[in-house]
Amino acid sequence: MRRKVYVEGSRPDIQVPFAEVHLTNDDPPVRLYDTSGPGSDPEVGLPQLRAHWIMERGDVEEVPAEGTATVGQTVRKAKDGKRPTQLYYARQGTVTPEMEFVAIREGVTPEFVRDEIAAGRAIIPNNVNHAESEPMIIGSAFLVKINANIGTSAVSSSIAEEVDKLTWATKWGGDTVMDLSTGKHIHATREAIVRNSAVPIGTVPIYQALEKCNGDPLGLTWELYRDTIIEQAEQGVDYMTVHAGVLLAHVPLAADRVTGIVSRGGSIMAAWCLAGHRENFLYTRYRELCEIFAQYDIAFSLGDGLRPGSIADANDEAQFAELKTLGELTKIAWEYDVQVMIEGPGHVPMHKIKENMDLQKEWCMDAPFYTLGPLTTDVAPGYDHITSAIGAAIIGSMGTAMLCYVTPKEHLGLPNRDDVKAGVIAYKIAAHAADLAKGHKGAQDWDDALSKARFEFRWEDQFNLSLDPDTARAFHDETLPATGAKTA
C-alpha cells in the first residue's frame, strides 16, 4: 500500500510530504520523495502554504500590480531596498522555513541547505507570489531533479489540458514544470498553472514578449520585455529562462554549424542582434533584470541559446563562448542576491559530456547546472526520451542538478499525456541512477527494498515500490494474471 504522509518540522506549519509504501512483511515502510502536491480543484487552486512564511519576514508588502495583464490585482513585492530571496537569507545565516522544508525532504540538516544556497551551489526557486509551492532544492549536493515542459501552442490544446498535464507530470515525479505556452492564451494558461502547482514553475518570457509584437523579433524592445517579466513575476513564476549570453559577437561562431541555432530563444535574440548589429538587450539591461528578480525572489535560469542541436555541433566555440558569458552573468546576479542556475545542452555524444560539466563548474563557480538531456545520438527520432536519458544519467552522475526531460515526440510533434509520462519516467530513471552513482545518502534504500521484494516474490510490494506501479502491475498481469502468481 502506498499513501501520502507528512513529516512535521520545527513548527506545525512545516509539513513535508512523502509517499510511504507499507510492505506485506515486517520490514519498516519505505518513504519516497513526493512531488504530487496536495491535490487541487482547478477552479479554486491550491492553498497558499507559504503565505505566512513570506509575510512574517517583513520584507515583502502587498501592492497593486504593475503589469499590463495583471493590472487591478494585488501582488507581493519586496519593500523598498529589501531583497526577500533565499540567497539573501542564506548569506545572513538565516534558516528559512523553506530551507527547513527541503532539509526534511532531502534528509539533511537545515544548516547544510543554508550553506549550499549561500555558496550559490543550490537554489530554492520560489517566487513570493507563488505561495502555493512546496519548497524544493536544486543543487548538486541534493537529489537530482527533473523538469517537465508543458504548454499550449497555437495549433492545439486547451488551458484545462495543460493543468491536467501539470498534475499528471507531478504525479509521476516532475520536480518543476516549465510552461512554454505560445499562442493567444499565454497569460490565462499560466495563471491556471501557477495557481494549481505545488512545484516551481519556470517560463521563457521571450516567447510571450514575441507574441506581443506578432512574432517579429525586430519588434522586441526592452520595455515590452520588461512588462512581460513584471506580469510573470506578479503571477508567481519561480524561475525564468533568460538568453542573456547570446552576444552579438557569439552569433557568427554558429555560422558553420550543421544545425545552426536551434534554441528558440537563442534564434530570436540572434536575429534581433544581427538585424541592428547591436548587443543583446538582455545583456545590456541585465542589472535591471537582476533588480526585478530580487524583488520577487525569481531565480535566473540562464539560457543556452547557442546550445548544439546535433552531435556534429557539440562542444563548439559558440556553445562555450556563451557558457563563459553565463559565468559572468552569474556573478552579477549574485551581487543582487538573486539565485541562479545555468542551462546546458542539448545534443552531446557520451565522450564529450564531461567537458560540459567541467567547464560549467569552473566558469559558473558551481552554480547548479540544468541540462536538456543531452541526447547522445541523433538517429532515433521517436525515442529521444531514451537517447537523452542516457546522457542525462551520465551528466547527472557528474553533478548536474536538474535534468530537463525530453519526450518521445521531440523533433516530431507536440507531446500528449502519454508522452509527458514517458518523458517523466525516463528522466526519473536517469535522475535516480545518477543519485546512486553519486552515492547519495539513502538513495539505494529504495532499490534494496524493491530488490528484496523481488527476490522474495512479494509482488504487491514490488509494484507499490515501483516508479510506475500501474505499468509494473499491468505488465505482470498480462502474462501471469492469476492472483496466486503474485504471492507465489
How do the residues of the chain divide into helix, strand and coil, expressed in percent and rounded to 5? 45, 15, 40
Find, among 268, 272, 266, the residue nearest to 253 by Cα: 266
- As a whole number of angstroms, the distance between CA 66 and CA 249 comes to 35
| Cβ atoms within 10 Å, residue 22 | 13
Q: How near is the Cβ of 374 to a copy of itself at its closest, in Å?
A: 11
Q: How near is the Cβ of 249 to a copy of itself at its closest, in Å?
A: 23
Which residues in 467-486 contact a copy of itself (CB under 8 A)?
467-468, 471-472, 474-476, 478-480
Are 61 and 77 contacting, i.e. CB atoms less than 8 angstroms apart? yes
Which residues in 9-48 contact a copy of itself (CB under 8 A)?
none
Residue in the block written with cell 499528471: 168
271 binds a copy of itself (CB under 8 A): no
Of the candidate spans 59-67, 175-183, 234-242, 252-260, the one that interacts with a copy of itself by CB under 8 A turns out to be 252-260
Interacting residues of 241 by C-beta distance below 8 A, sequence separation 6+: 178, 202, 203, 204, 205, 206, 265, 301, 302, 303, 343
Q: How near is the Cβ of 23 to a copy of itself at its closest, in Å?
A: 15
Q: How near is the Cβ of 349 to a copy of itself at its closest, in Å?
A: 4
Phi-psi region for residue 118, left (φ > 0), alpha (ψ -120 to 50) or beta? alpha
In the Cβ-directed half-sphere of 376, how many Cα atoms lie within 13 Å?
Answer: 16
| Cβ atoms within 10 Å, residue 85 | 27
Q: How near is the Cβ of 29 to a copy of itself at its closest, in Å?
A: 16
350: which DSSP letter? Answer: G
Of the candidate spans 136-144, 296-304, 316-324, 375-383, the one that interacts with a copy of itself by CB under 8 A turns out to be 375-383
Among 144, 251, 306, 393, binds a copy of itself (CB under 8 A): 393
169 binds a copy of itself (CB under 8 A): no
Among 94, 156, 158, 487, binds a copy of itself (CB under 8 A): 156
Which residues in 394-453 contact a copy of itself (CB under 8 A)?
394, 397, 408-409, 411-414, 416, 425-426, 428-430, 432-434, 436-439, 444, 446-448, 450-452
Closer by beta carbon to a copy of itself, 92 or else 156: 156
3-class secondary structure, 482? coil
Which residues in 319-358 contact a copy of itself (CB under 8 A)?
347, 349-351
Number of residues that bind a copy of itself (CB under 8 A): 72
Q: Which residues make beta-bridge pairs with 241?
A: 301
